[in-house]
């Protein structure tokens, strides 16, 4: 309609360089989210069943749960380590892990986290799928929100739709939406405490339920925020989070977080050694072996 044609030499190419038209149009991102959201499934949509107890070994049960996270290097904030782990629900042990080191140019903008983090995570998932691993996750827990999002389509939804996997959003901080804020959550939590619930629904001003706040560990004051991503109901999501919570954050995302940070740390260590030793460079594993040999 009111499109101005005053842009100087705008390339119509599809290369997504944030330098081209980043300022005026998060509109493109909004349009993409609105489009993808039409594919979102907000109810249980999977073939597996949840095991009654950990020793249950029937066929067709949920067993492999993925967790994804990305950590960054302080030294070089464009360097990111995307991480995928898969845990066996029976033991809560990691049975698969993979990392991908990439340079991320897209900035973090609240409400648009997926455009920064989803591409690398999808790539790791795709790689695993093509490898034919028998551990390919039946469900994914995501470090970031699902429908608890200004447009009801956070990173967990985005990943779920694009990978066609059931996903659960795990937030460690509240994204303020529909009048929900820290004090509102405190009110809700304290009100729910009397009814002995370990989670409370996040009801916004509009009456819409965006997810749940949950004190996953007894004695933890700070809640986590659970919202559905894709192909799962909030009730099921909450049940699965509770099944996988040894600490405040459920194991899949917690392990992804820990190992991702660890990977970056080892990388820095490696770089430091490289600098100190110079041309006779050894990798850190060799270095540790040499140091530890009597």
Partner DNA sequence: GCGACAG
Partner DNA sequence: ATCTTGTCGC
Provide the token pair at 221: 């004051």
Stretch near DNA under the rule CB under 7 A, chosen from 43-51, 65-73, 83-91, 121-129: 65-73
Q: Does position 171 bind DNA by CB under 7 A?
A: yes
Strands 139-143 and 64-72: parallel
Q: Does position 160 bind DNA by CB under 7 A?
A: no
User: Cβ distance 167 to 231 under 8 Å?
Assistant: yes
Tell me which of 65, 94, 149, 236 binds DNA, using CB under 7 A: 149
Q: Does position 145 bind DNA by CB under 7 A?
A: yes
Tell me which of 155, 200, 237, 245 binds DNA, using CB under 7 A: 155
What is the nearest approach in angstroms of DNA to the Cβ of residue 114?
Answer: 6
Q: Does position 228 bind DNA by CB under 7 A?
A: no
Q: Which helix (H) or strand (E) holds 160?
A: helix 155-163
Nearer to DNA, 62 or 251 (CB): 251
Distances (CA, A) of 246 to 93, 124, 176: 12, 26, 27
What is the nearest approach in angstroms of DNA to the Cβ of residue 54?
Answer: 25
Which positions from 2 through 61 interact with DNA, judged by CB under 7 A?
none
* Count of helices and strands (H, E) across the chain: 7, 8
How far is residue 39's CA from residue 10's CA, in Å, rounded to a whole number?
A: 31
User: Cβ distance 53 to 174 under 8 Å?
Assistant: no
With tokens 């033991």, the residue in question is 91
Q: Can you give the binding site for DNA, defined by CB under 7 A?
A: 69-74, 108, 110-114, 143-145, 149, 154-156, 169, 171-176, 182, 257, 260-261, 264
């Amino acid at each position: 309609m009111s499109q101005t044609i005053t842009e100087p030499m705008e390339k119509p190419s599809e290369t997504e360089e944030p330098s081209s038209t980043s300022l005026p149009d998060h509109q493109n991102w909004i349009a993409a989210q609105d489009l993808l959201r039409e594919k979102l499934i907000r109810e249980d949509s999977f073939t597996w069943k949840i095991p009654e107890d950990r020793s249950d070994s029937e066929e067709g049960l949920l067993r492999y749960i993925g967790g994804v996270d990305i950590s960054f290097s302080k030294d070089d904030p464009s360097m990111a380590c995307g991480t995928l782990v898969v845990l066996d629900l029976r033991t809560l042990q990691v049975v698969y892990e993979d990392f991908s080191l990439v340079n991320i140019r897209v900035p973090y903008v609240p409400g648009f986290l997926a455009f920064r983090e989803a591409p690398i995570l999808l790539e790791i998932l795709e790689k695993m799928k093509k490898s034919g691993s028998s551990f390919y996750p039946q469900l994914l827990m995501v470090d970031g929100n699902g429908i608890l999002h200004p447009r009801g389509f956070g990173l967990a939804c985005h990943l779920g739709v694009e990978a066609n996997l059931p996903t659960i959003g795990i937030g460690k901080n509240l994204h303020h939406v529909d009048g929900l804020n820290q004090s509102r959550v405190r009110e809700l939590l304290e009100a729910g405490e009397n009814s002995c619930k370990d989670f409370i629904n996040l009801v916004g001003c509009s009456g819409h339920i965006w997810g749940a706040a949950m004190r996953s560990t007894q004695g933890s004051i700070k809640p986590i925020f659970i919202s559905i991503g894709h192909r799962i109901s909030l009730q099921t999501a909450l049940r699965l989070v509770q099944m996988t919570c040894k600490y405040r954050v459920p194991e899949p995302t917690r392990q992804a977080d820990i190992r991702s940070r660890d990977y970056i740390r080892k990388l820095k260590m490696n770089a430091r050694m490289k600098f100190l030793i110079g041309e006779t460079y050894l990798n850190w594993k060799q270095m540790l072996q040499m140091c530890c040999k009597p």
